[in-house]
Amino acid sequence: MEVAESTGEAGPAKSLERSEWRRALLSLRKSRAAVVGLIVLGCVVGLAIFADWISPHNPNEQVLEQRLMPPAWLEGGSRQHLLGTDHLGRDILSRVIFGSRISLTVGILAVIISGLLGVGAGLMAGFYGRRLDVTIMRFVDIQLAFPFILLALAVIGVLGPGLRNVILVLGVAGWMVYARVVRAQVLSVREREFVEAARAVGASDLRIIRWHVLPNTLAPVIIVGTFAVATCIITEASLTFFGLGVEATIPTWGSMLSDGRAYMGTAWWLTTFPGLAMMLTVLSINLIGDWLREYIDPRMRQL
């Protein structure tokens, strides 16, 4: 990618880009784990998008006569409710399917917010250096000394729960890692010849950052961002589990776990299936992240 950008000519750059895709595909074919991850994540994304058509029941429909029905393959189960029903007679399978929507939405939006904030801060710190750098990096230290989940809980405790607040808080609370890796990349790129050349021909700071520095910082951002989606999904579920997350009216994996907690001993399916769904989603994202890291740059193992 770096080669393609620095040649700058349309012809060879395009063919290089194509071979880049081919290289990615080849490397992907060698990593069975990443293929499994992509397939699982693809299914979860599909469930989230087409939940309205796939889901057998309305996830909020309560049928009180059919409370706490076990999964279909057990005594007392019914094919109507493959994974059983919860304490209010709601279909577990439908709720798990709809829950994927919230998890993915929160994960992706929060990562976009923190990515934008962190990349911006990292670019400024690395490019302008000196006081700005010291100030921004001190902010990073301050927020790192403040446990992520505690900050999220405290802010939500004051702002109040709700989907929008959860996304905002997770987004704002997660910018530091991006700022750190981007700053480190900028510091190494800043002194390179092509930046000097751009400056020599009179390019403005903004132009240099946009066209010469930013593209060279994106690889680690993509890696960090992938893993962060997984972390955000778990954190959202934890917040919701504590009653400080998404509204109770929206079916989420976190709320299913917290609802099912009281029935752990008698109706294990209330907590097992949403937990499994979350684990599979997070696992697939981590598998893809692992492959991305090896593929983009094996030296970034410590990220």
- List residues near other proteins by CB under 8 A: 138-139, 141-151, 153-155, 157-159, 230, 234, 237-238, 241-244, 257, 261, 264-265, 268, 271-272, 275, 278-279, 282-283, 286-287, 290, 301-302
The 3-state DSSP class for residue 81 equals strand
CB 145, min distance to other proteins, A = 5
CB 43, min distance to other proteins, A = 16
User: How far apart, in whole angstroms, are the C-alpha atoms of residue 115 and residue 217?
Assistant: 12
CB 39, min distance to other proteins, A = 16
CB 239, min distance to other proteins, A = 10
Q: Which is nearer to other proteins, 133 or 213 (CB)?
A: 133
| CB-CB neighbours of 266 under 10 Å | 9
Residue length, the chain?
303
Q: Which is nearer to other proteins, 111 or 257 (CB)?
A: 257
DSSP 97-161: HHHHHHHHHHHHHHHHHHHHHHHHHHHHHHHH-HHHHHHHHHHHHHHHTS-HHHHHHHHHHHH--
CB 98, min distance to other proteins, A = 18
Q: Which is nearer to other proteins, 74 or 144 (CB)?
A: 144
* Cβ atoms 293, 303 nearer than 8 A: yes
Q: Which is nearer to other proteins, 216 or 271 (CB)?
A: 271
Q: Which is nearer to other proteins, 139 or 194 (CB)?
A: 139
* Cβ atoms 231, 108 nearer than 8 A: no
User: How far apart, in whole angstroms, are the C-alpha atoms of residue 65 and residue 60?
Assistant: 15
Q: Which is nearer to other proteins, 130 or 301 (CB)?
A: 301
CB 202, min distance to other proteins, A = 36
Q: For residue 85, what is the DSSP state? A: B
Question: CB under 8 Å to 125, separation ≥6 — which residues?
Answer: 132, 133, 136, 137, 179, 183, 186
